[in-house]
Amino acid sequence: MLYYTLRPFVTFILKLCIKHISISGLENIPKSGAVILASTHSNSFFDAVLLGCTIDRRVWSLARGDVFKKNWAKKILSSLFMLPVYRLSEGKEHLGDNDDTFNRCIELFQKGEIVLIFSEGICVNQTKLLPLKKGTARLAQKAWYDGMELTVIPVAISYDTIIGFGKKINLNIGKPIEKNDFQTVSEDGFFLKLFNDVLTEKINILIDRTFPKVSFLQSPWFYISSIIDFPANKIACIISKKLTKGIVFFDSITLGLLIVLLPLYWGLLACIVCFLSNSL
């Protein structure tokens, strides 16, 4: 319920935060059926929010497991269709929980859902694709071995800047990778390597760091908001920079703050306008 309530509002907020976004390849995502979105990951939770608000279908996202430790956080994130993935750095005792997430993904594929996986396995503010982990390949292999009609869609998200407000984004969605592409491969280790080689090649083709100059007419929502909402935007950015100290969570924290601050700010503006109208 929280997902469907927040999604249209967050989609609107993104129009006020993003100076320009170029989206290509949405037609490559099947209208139904099981899908893995295999995406680059340079901008923390913001990557998942951006894709979730862009794609018409419901998207389940894999997220770093440490943010699920608090019960209240786990409930909120689960209601947003997010699943935990634990890394060794978060404690060996949690690695076994990844089996539950893996099995949950297989169940979702059986129901024809979309699961977003950040195939690099780590979020780093980089401009080039990092070596891919084996998680995406293993999930695809398991689903195909079980006879599912799963489609893997490569995705590349490029930002002109990570630490800064009003960014330009290129979101490119590639051609599908399907089971038939690996029909002659049987040995597990060779499959994982070949799959990652194919996925790496397809994602690299999609990375585009050419960003255009943007006029007012091309992005009116952003430019109008940058004037009217300047105080709220500035406060959110200042707080986010202090909290994140230049790391990849800047956009995620800023967006979270604006989701709260902007309605309050708009309410304050409405009160001021009403007061002035009554005074005249």
For 89-99, write each residue's pLDDT tens digit: 665 666 677 88
Q: In this model, does residue 9 exceed pLDDT 70? A: yes
Mean pLDDT of the chain: 92
Q: Tens digits of per-residue pLDDT, 104-131?
A: 999 999 999 999 999 998 888 888 899 9
Q: Tens digits of per-residue pLDDT, 171-210?
A: 999 999 988 888 766 667 789 999 999 999 999 999 999 9
Assign 88 a pLDDT band (cuts: 50, 70, 90).
low
Q: 0.85 exceeded by the pTM?
A: yes
From residue 231, give the alpha-carbon distance in Å to each of 103, 127, 228.
46, 31, 8
Query: Rounded to whole angstroms, how far apart are CA atoms 55 and 29?
Result: 9
Per the model's pLDDT, the better-predicted residue between 87 and 242 turns out to be 242
For the domain spanning 19-206, the CATH number is 3.40.1130.10
> Residue 246 has what pLDDT?
73
Distance from chain centroid for Cα 90:
21
From residue 41, give the alpha-carbon distance in Å to each of 125, 156, 162, 211, 274.
8, 8, 12, 19, 45
Q: What single-letter amino acid sits at 43? A: N
| pLDDT average, residue stretch 40-51 | 94
Radius of gyration, alpha carbons of the chain? 20
177 - beta bridge partners? 152
Q: In this model, does residue 49 exceed pLDDT 90? A: yes
Residue labelled with tokens 């401009």: 127
> Residue 182 has what pLDDT?
84
Q: Tens digits of per-residue pLDDT, 210-264?
A: 999 999 999 999 999 999 999 999 999 999 999 988 788 999 999 999 999 999 9
Residue 181's nearest CA partner among 160, 170, 197 is 197
> Residue 66 has what pLDDT?
81
The domain segmentation of the chain, as residue ranges, is 19-206, 216-279
Q: In this model, does residue 103 exceed pLDDT 90? A: yes
Query: Rounded to whole angstroms, how far apart are CA atoms 28 and 206?
Result: 13
At what angle are helices 71-79 and 2-17 packed, to 10 degrees?
80
Assign 267 a pLDDT band (cuts: 50, 70, 90).
very high
